[in-house]
Structures are given as structure tokens and as C-alpha cells.
Amino acid sequence: MATRSRAYLTPYLRGLRLLDLLTVMLSVLGAQFLRFGSSSTSLGTHVGALSYTAVSAALILGWMTALHLQNAYDGRLVGHGVQEYRQVFHASTWLFAALAITAFALKLDFARGYVILAFPLGTLFLLAGRWSARRWLVSRRRAGELSDRVLLVGDREHVASLVVALRRAPDAGYNVLGACVDTATSGWIEGVPILGPETDVLLKAVDLGADVVAISSSTGLGQTGLRRLGWALEGTKIDLVVAPGIMDVAGPRVLTRPVQGLPLIHVEAPTFVGPALVAKGLLDRVGALIAMIVLSPVLVAVAIAVKLEDGGPVLFRQERVGRDGNSFGMLKFRTMVVDAEARLPQLLAANEGAGPLFKLHRDPRVTKVGRALRKYSLDELAQLVNVLVGDMSLVGPRPPLPREVAEYEAHVRRRLLVKPGMTGLWQISGRSNLSWEEAVRLDLYYVENWTPVLDLMIMWRTAQVVIQPDPHGAY
């Protein structure tokens, strides 16, 4: 039998608990020291001689308990980004809500400064610690280590989709060993070996030391076979995962409701109007205004560099298509020669872009300054003006050209249901290296699954991409 790889989880989770404990201790005791110094301070007349040191110890214990109750050490979820951060944040919020209720019920007179310091410090440091731990774990997973060994089961079409989806996300930690497909006994599917028919799944999973058996939505096992497989996997420490046929639907739109033992998956329709999008528009404009003020020295320096190179215009205005198909003039700091648009027909034959996009790795129209601006996406800072006037969002689908929209298929036009963005999933997932189909998939995923948390994640990842640009992805 093959050696199981999930053994990495035990030391990793142990280290994670230790990191969280040290972080909580540092935050709580640090808040006590900042508020009271090294002196022992009582809680006031209501509790007599009970010191804040004792309260700090209880708070540390309570914080670690809250993390456990919120499943912050669930090996199936650690390293999965937003989910993990949400668990940590919820644990911290519930702890301090319980603290406030207890203080009110028992009439304890806590120093507000102590609580105000401890809560944000602890939450921020916990999230920073999880982020650091996740970065280390992701780096190992991208190197092919510390991942769950997965055996896929289903028909060829659905198994192929699963292989592609898991390959797109090495950070998730799923290493596909092979697949049991239909009634096949050998062959390959999307570069993954076919190990046998679906009926051999249990035998192959045990022989290979698999950590996860992933069943596609169109498996030949049937309802009875799937249930028996679940029974057979009991006690083997092999997880059973069922992949629904509905693709690219995020968790907030999914609700599982059991009816007579049958799990029904409710998928809410995406919404493109309402208070949430009004709030997004307001935050976009406020964020753009703040960014323009903070980055004003950079904006001025970029403008001077563009002007000094050839004396031409600083800004380049190009017609793009926005929400509901309405056109607007998108601004960029000019990165090409003044007559770049007139030269375009001569270069169309050398197009390296996917689908209707025009991309040329060594575009002769790009200036020296322009190449540096594109590498760090500084040319796109001018679009803050478009966000400020309401034509664009900080985060959204890529703003297309009219000629691109003219070639859109019906489903691709769903990209136009929301405002285009300065950045988006396409920006942090490969940019010019993406295929046309992949770029469309990412944009449609964003359009239908937008949340404030997703926006924050994309902006954070964008900052990382800009600081450490991919030399092959930005040109």
C-alpha cells in the first residue's frame, strides 16, 4: 500500500495552534501593557482585587476555545484563503460579543481602552499569522508537496472538467493520482491516467493511499453505489467529496437543504441591482478619490516621464464598452507612440492575443517609458478618474473594446451586466497569458458571484502582482 501524504497535516495543525497561541498571548498581554503599564490594576469596585492579568489569561483561553469552536483547525479548510480568514474573524467577533454580554450581565467595569486595543490587535495579528502560514503552505503545494492525494471518479466529460479545475488551483492542495472512468480499464484523460472502471474505485483508493475520493455529478455508481462507497470508506481516513455539476458558483449563492435525507442544493440567482451594488459604487468613488490623493506624487511623476520622452500627450483616451453596453472614454497614461492606432492594421497579422483580443509581446509601438509603466501597471492609474466619474469600478471584468464586443457570443455578453474594473480576477490570474476561454470564465465568475470580501481579496492580490510583476504576463 502507498504511503499516505496527509501525515503533513498533524505537524502543520500543531504549528498553527502554537502560532495562534503565541499571537493571542502577544496581543492580549500587549494590550494590557499598553493600557496599564507593568502595574497590577484591579477591575474596579465591582470585582475587588481581581487583576487584569487574570482577565488576560481567561481571555487567551477563551480566544483559543473560540477558534476551536469555529473549526479554525479543520484540516480540510486550512490553507483555503477566504474561508480560513472568515473562521478566524468570526471566532474573534463571537468572543468579544460574549465578553460584552458577560460584562453587562455581571456589571463588570472593564477599561474600554484595554478591550479596544486587545480585539483589533489580536484579530489583525491572527489574520497576519494565518496569511504567513498559508503563504508557506501554498509555496510547498506549488512545488508538489503537502497536498492531498485525490482519486477522481465519473464519466469522461465530468472527470476532465474536474482535472482542469483542480489543475487551475494548485494552492488548494489536491494532487490528482488518477481516475476511475466509466467502464474503461486504461488510457489517459487530460494528462491523468485512467486506473480502471468506476467499480474499482475502492480498491484503487486503498492501494494508492488516496486521501480523497472525488465523485463527479454524473457518475455511473448511482445513488445506491455512492452510498455504499461512503459506508466502505468509513474508518479508512479517506474523505468522500461529491462535485456538483454546477460550475463557477460561489458559496454565498449556495444553500444545502436536506429533504427526507436527500441534500438539495439551492442556487440563488445572481443580482445586478440593489443596495449592495449601490454601496459598491459609493465605495468605488470614495476609494478612487483617496487613492488619487495618496498617489498624487506618483501620478505627477508618471505624467512628467511620459511628456519628457517624446513631447506627446500624457493621457491616451480610448473608447471602451461599459455596463449595459454603454460606451465611455477610458483613460490611460500613454505608453505608445502618438500614431499607435494608425499603425495597428499593419500589425494585425502578428497578433498573439486570444479570441478577439489583440496582444503583441514585442509591440514596436510601445515606448521605453511605456514598457516600464506597463510592467508595473502604472499606466492604468489614470483610470481612477473613470472610477471617480462612475464609468468603472475598482474591481470588475476587463473593459472591452467595441470591436471585441461585436464578436461576443451571447453568454459572453454577461460581462456587460456590471461596470468594468481597473483590476479583476483576470489581472491576478495571468493577464495576457490567459486563454480567451479562461479570461471569459473568470469575468463571468466575478459578475455572478461578487461580494465585498472577493473585492478586497482581488485588490490585495493585485497589489502583490504589481509589486512582483510576472515578466511574461504584463506587456
With contact defined as beta carbons under 8 Å apart, do 188 and 128 qualify?
A: no
Per-residue model confidence as pLDDT tens digits over 280-336: 999 999 999 999 999 999 999 999 999 999 899 999 999 999 999 999 999 999 999
pLDDT number for residue 38: 60
- The Cα 11–Cα 72 span in angstroms is 15
Chain mean position to CA 244: 20
pLDDT at 49: 35
* Residues paired with 213 in a beta bridge: 151, 240
Integer Cα distance of 397 and 403 in angstroms: 17
> What's the confidence (pLDDT) of residue 322?
94
- Report the alpha-carbon distance of residue 196 to residue 204 in Å, rounded: 8
Q: Is 255 exposed, middle or buried (0-12, 13-18, 19+ CB in 10 A)?
A: exposed
Reference 354, options 431, 410, 458; nearest CA is 431
Cell of 224: 445506491
Cα first-last separation, the chain: 49
Q: What is the DSSP string of 353-387?
A: -STT----TT-TTB-HHHHHHHHTTGGGGGGHHHH
The stretches in the chain having pLDDT less than 70 are 1-6, 37-50, 108-112, 218-219, 245-252, 259-262, 352-359, 430-433, 469-475
pLDDT at residue 114, rounded to an integer: 76
How much is the pLDDT for 43?
A: 47
Using one digit for the tens of pLDDT, what is the confidence trace for 46-58?
A: 443 347 778 888 8
Per-residue pLDDT at 44: 46
Which pLDDT does position 118 carry in this prediction?
Answer: 87
Closest among 426, 432, 437 to 352, alpha carbons compared? 432
pLDDT at 396: 93
